[in-house]
Amino acid sequence: QEDLADWINKLLGLDHISASNLLDVLDNGVVLCHLASVIHEKADETIRNGTAKGSVPKIKGPFFEKASRRSFFSRDNIDKFITFCKQLGVHENLLFETNDLVQQNQPRNVLLCLMEVARIASRFNVEPPGLVVLEKEIAEQESREMANWENNHPHLKHSSSDTRMVYIQEGGCGVGESLRRASSEHIPPDGNRSDTTEDD
């Protein structure tokens, strides 16, 4: 949550959002709509100059700046943001429901969706949260190591999945593709990151 709070603060020029108040700040949908507007502007710019491809996602219609928490207007704002997420390309399995945020009964769904928004938005030169940067760095390192390993084992005729299994068994870390899953699994249902792990 702290990573997302810092990311939103930086992107919107704010300084009052923290891990402890993140959901309270977001649950009227106003900050989310501003976030979508900034991503829209970045996407429009990068697609126009040819550094990115695709259609430009945007918030449909005006949103309610003065929406009260748990009001019809806050729900409408959040619905607009969810529609924006769909246009952006967030997979339906990572979308959250309006009540997940309005009633804060499924904060984990909200956080996972926002992390995916941040990942996709990075394609449009939107600086991502630190965790997303770390994911990319590890994935790139793992890809290089895997390529080097395959070059040193040209005699193997396995399928790509079999080759990868041999690579991991011989000491390949495999953390690049698993970090996203691990980060998701360690956000418990109440949305607060656990400082402890359980042994099987």
The answer as to whether 157 is a domain residue is: no
The answer as to whether 135 is a domain residue is: no
Taking only the tens place, the pLDDT of each residue in 58-100 is 998 899 999 999 999 999 999 999 999 999 999 999 999 999 9
Q: Which two tokens stand for residue 48?
A: 């126009």
The answer as to whether 162 is a domain residue is: no
pLDDT of residue 151: 77
In the numeric block, the tokens 């990942």 are attached to: 119
Cα–Cα distances (Å) from 30 to 148, 155, 167, 180, in that order, read: 48, 58, 47, 28
**Cα–Cα distance, 83 to 71 (Å, whole number):** 19
Contacts of 61 by beta carbon, 8 Å cutoff, 6+ apart: 80
Range of the domain at 118: 1-128
In this predicted structure, the answer to whether residue 188 has a pLDDT above a threshold of 60 is no
Residue 198: phi and psi, rounded to 5, are -105, 135
Taking only the tens place, the pLDDT of each residue in 139-149 is 667 676 777 76
Q: How many domains does the chain divide into?
A: 1
- CATH value at residue 38: 1.10.418.10
pLDDT of residue 180: 52
pLDDT of residue 148: 75
The answer as to whether 38 is a domain residue is: yes
Helical segments of the chain, H only: 2-12, 22-26, 30-48, 72-88, 98-102, 107-121, 130-151, 160-169, 175-185
The answer as to whether 100 is a domain residue is: yes
For residue 181, name the pLDDT band (cuts at 50, 70, 90). Answer: low
Higher pLDDT: 188 or 90? It is: 90
Q: Which of 11, 71, 70 is nearest to 42 (CA)?
A: 11
Taking only the tens place, the pLDDT of each residue in 144-176 is 677 776 777 676 555 555 555 554 455 555 444
The answer as to whether 151 is a domain residue is: no
Q: What is the DSSP string of 154-168?
A: TT----HHHHHHHHH
